[in-house]
Amino acid sequence: MDGADPEKLVAERGLKVVVDQGAIRLVVEKVVAANAGIVETIRAGKTQALNALLGQVMKETKGTAKPELVRKLLAEVIGVDI
């Protein structure tokens, strides 16, 4: 592996972190729409339930989304402060 181009390795192995807010927001909106029960639980004050949605977004993006950004977008879309 000596001399291998780091950017090439990241691309080949699918290790690039996605920080495109537009792309992640689409996934977040899809997950929120499909999980009305969890969303209501979060809106009722149980913000720890946000982790369930975070996990689903990470699964949808194959772990490439930046978790901090996902959490921020989930809170925005749901309309809660975290």
Question: What is this structure's pTM?
Answer: 0.79
Instruction: Tell whether the model's pLDDT for residue 40 goes beyond 90.
Output: yes
Give exposure, 28-54, as e/b (b: 16+ Cβ within 10 Å): beebbeebeebbebbeeeeeebbeebb
* Structure confidence at residue 7 (pLDDT): 64
When mean pLDDT is compared across 20-24, 34-38, 76-80, the lowest value belongs to: 20-24
Lookup: tokens for 26:
């689409």
Residue-range domain boundaries for the chain:
18-78
Q: Does the domain made of 18-78 have the CATH classification 3.40.50.300?
A: no
